[in-house]
Amino acid sequence: MFLNPGNARGFSLTELMLMVAIAGTLMAIAVPVAKDLTATTKLNEAARLIERELQDARLRAVSSNRSLRVRTNCPSTGFVRSVEVLGTAVDTATNRCLHSAYPYPADTDLMTRPNYDGPMRTIPNAATVTTTIIEFAPDGTARLVTAGVAQTMATPQTITITRQSKSRTVTVNAAGKVQIQ
């Protein structure tokens, strides 16, 4: 059977090349937008981790009737951990955030302390955070810790989370309210 050129079906080479050019242009536009969206998502994930750690420490301080501190960049950059306030020199010790010295979970004997230290968490996606220590009292209020001493906050404390030149902030006020900005 012979093909009749007038009844041929399909696309010509010109039409096919035009469609490939249009698809390539759309993909070239979409890739930077997708990268920016991914970067923002990763920054938001890191900010939510800090916010959740602060909220969790406040809740555990109230429920356990113990003061807890949230320490960022503890023991080094890129980590966060909540620790129980013992009221001794241990509170400012350089090894206070290390799992080897203060493991999580702690022992189960309620007569020995600390019992309410949390796990050391890695801040995800190569995000960095400002170094801060926030203490939550058993009544849920928050104080800023400077040089090992908890002080009443006159203004809300801002913790900045940065990733690839973009940043988000988490604020904590004296009443203990934690918000992502």
CA distances (Å), origin 7, targets 2, 3, 4, 10, 11:
11, 8, 6, 10, 12
What's the pLDDT at 110?
67
Beta bridge partners of 143: 135, 152
What's the pLDDT at 65?
94
What's the pLDDT at 100?
84
Q: Is 41 helix (H, G, I), strand (E, B) or coil?
A: helix
Q: Where are the domains of the chain?
A: 11-180
The 8-class DSSP code of residue 2 comes to: P
Which positions of the chain have pLDDT values less than 50? none
Q: Which residue do the tokens 């420490």 mark?
A: 57
Q: How many CA atoms lie within 13 A of 164 on its CB side?
A: 14
Amino acid code (one letter) for 42: K
What's the pLDDT at 32?
77
| Torsional sign, CA 106, 108, 114, 119 | positive
What's the pLDDT at 101?
85
CB 146 within 8 A of CB 158: no
Interval 74-92: pLDDT, tens: 888 999 999 999 888 888 8
What's the pLDDT at 8?
63
According to the CATH classification, is domain 11-180 in 3.55.40.10? yes
What's the pLDDT at 35?
72
Give the chain's radius of gyration (CA, Å). 26
Q: Which residue do the tokens 């356990």 mark?
A: 64
Query: Is residue 94 classed exposed, middle or buried when 0-12, 13-18 and 19+ CB atoms within 10 A define those classes?
Result: exposed
How many Cβ atoms are within 10 Å of 15's Cβ, its own excluded? Answer: 10
